[in-house]
Amino acid sequence: MKAAVCERYGPPEVVQIREVPTPVPADGEVLVKALATTVNSGDSRVRALRVPRGLRLPMRLKLGLTKPKQPILGFEIAGQVEAVGPAVTRFQPGERVVASRGFDFGCHAEYATVAEGGDIATIPEHLSFQDAVALCFGGTTALIFFRLGKLAAGETVLINGASGAVGTMAVQLAKHFGAEVTGVCSAANADLVSGLGADHVIDYQAHDFTRNGQRYDVIMDTHGNAPYARVKRSLRPGGRFLMVIGDLWQMLVASRQKAVISASQDDASMTADNYRTLMSLAEQGVLRPVIDSVLPFEQIVDAHRRVDGGHKVGSVVLTFEQDDYTGRMPGGPTAPTSSH
Ligand SMILES: NC(=O)c1ccc[n+]([C@@H]2O[C@H](COP(=O)([O-])OP(=O)(O)OC[C@H]3O[C@@H](n4cnc5c(N)ncnc54)[C@H](OP(=O)(O)O)[C@@H]3O)[C@@H](O)[C@H]2O)c1
């Protein structure tokens, strides 16, 4: 099979498409034939070993000291079940699924195996593979943080970085949970963020939300330039700070501050449940996948370049030539483009 192989840390060009052996599903595993995947900010960070201050050594220990231990990156895959290993009962060949291998990666390939009891869920009939996969990374992250942060109906929430993969899902999910939402993004993305349901939008180039006198019950930082020390005066009493990205120092602060929530406190085994929630909300038309661009798998280097830029809008999706599924969810996603 074809796979995108990354044998050293470096710029997008270190990723090369090669022929590698197709994985064989072991006992309890499902083999998924890829029809869509994403290059997300996690893939780009790992490829470049671009990690927040103080975390380079722990990340090298986790991901590989001098090169990625798993040379095929890719967190998530949408496609069809090609085959199942012995003892698999929950999935059958031909079923449409979305799945994640998390930090085991391996989804930037024509086939990937996933444990049937792992992070895998059925894609509803009216959702395309591209839309399904575009929901996953940002959607699971937003769900995890809102659950940890106990976001409640009627609360006010500010999302810094509202137009990225995490931000676009966070805006919509927070509205769904009944919150009053303020999105912070560039002026170019203000209409998109309002269209996703944000009640207020702040252009970060024109206004500093930490100095406008407003206070919020929950502040989520997906960009990394609004740490707790900067935003704490913008939190109401009892407010929570959701630190989606932060450096080692900020993580140390987080461990000593009840108001600061970091994802390390969550149980990653919830992913399949989260996927089912996201697919169901999308099927009902509550959640809209936001797709920055759709590129053929062969253009994965361009996809990495786009993600490295730090200004993608939602998800960058890669398709495989067999992806001829034309179904669209009611209302349709944000128009995909491949012009970036
Ligand atoms: N902790 C976890 O479990 C976890 C999980 C997933 C992701 N993450 C991390 O979360 C971060 C966000 O991921 P993502 O995939 O959503 O990234 P992304 O799609 O690249 O989005 C980046 C966002 O940052 C905004 N931005 C750029 N400059 C900004 C500024 N000066 N002030 C405020 N916003 C600014 C961009 O908006 P404009 O384009 O409008 O400028 C865009 O909305 C990444 O660092 C990723 O590694 C952490």
pLDDT tens-digit series, residues 123-137: 999 999 999 999 999
Q: Which of 262, 277, 177 is nearest to 221 (CA)?
A: 262
161 CA to centre of ligand 1 in angstroms: 5
pLDDT of residue 321: 72
Contact 165 CB / ligand 1 (< 6 Å)? yes
CB of residue 160 inside a 6 A radius of ligand 1: yes
Q: Please check whether residue 254 is in contact with residue 260, taking contact to mean a CB–CB distance below 8 angstroms.
A: yes
Cβ–ligand 1 distance for 306 under 6 Å, the answer no
Phi, psi of 42 (to 5 degrees): -70, -45
| Average pLDDT of the residues of the chain | 92
- Among residues of the chain, what percentage have pLDDT more than 70? 93
- Residue pLDDT, tens place only, 228-277: 999 999 999 999 999 999 999 888 887 888 899 887 644 556 789 999 99
pTM for the model stands at: 0.94
What's the 51 CA to ligand 1 centre distance in angstroms? 13
Nearest atom in ligand 1 to the alpha carbon of residue 266 is 3
**Ligand 1 pocket residue status of 136, Cβ below 6 Å:** no
State the SS3 of 222-256: CCCCCCHHHHHHHEEEEEEEEECCCCHHHHHHHHH
State which H helix or E strand residue 10 sits in.
Answer: none
Q: What gap in Å lies between CA 211 and CA 312, rounded to an integer?
A: 27
CA geometry: angle 147, 152, 156, nearest 5 deg: 110
- What band does 168 get if pLDDT is binned at 50, 70 and 90? very high
Q: What separation in Å is there between the alpha carbon of 28 and the centre of ligand 1? A: 36
Cβ 140 under 6 angstroms from ligand 1: no
pLDDT at 251: 86
Shortest-distance Cα residue to atom 4 of ligand 1? 244
Atom of ligand 1 nearest to the CA of 315: 19
**Residue range 110-132: average pLDDT?**
96
Tell me, using a 6 A CB cutoff, whether residue 44 lines ligand 1: no
User: Does the beta carbon of 161 lie inside 6 Å of ligand 1?
Assistant: yes
φ, ψ for residue 331, nearest 5 deg: 90, -25
Distance 166 CA to ligand 1 centre (A): 7
Mutate to test the pocket of ligand 1, among 222, 247, 315 (most ligand atoms within 8 A of CB): 222
Any atom of ligand 1 within 6 Å of the Cβ of 164: yes
What is the CA(222)–ligand 1 centre distance, in A? 5
Tokens of 163: 């137009």
In the predicted model, is pLDDT for residue 325 greater than 70? no
DSSP state of 39: E
Comparison of pLDDT for 324 and 239, the residue scoring more: 239
Return the residue whose CA atom lies nearest to atom 5 of ligand 1: 141
Asked if residue 166 has its Cβ within 6 Å of ligand 1, the reply is: yes
Q: Indicate which atom in ligand 1 lies nearest the CA of residue 167.
A: 16
The residue assigned the tokens 């759709």 is: 294
Q: Indicate which residue's Cα is closest to atom 21 of ligand 1.
A: 164
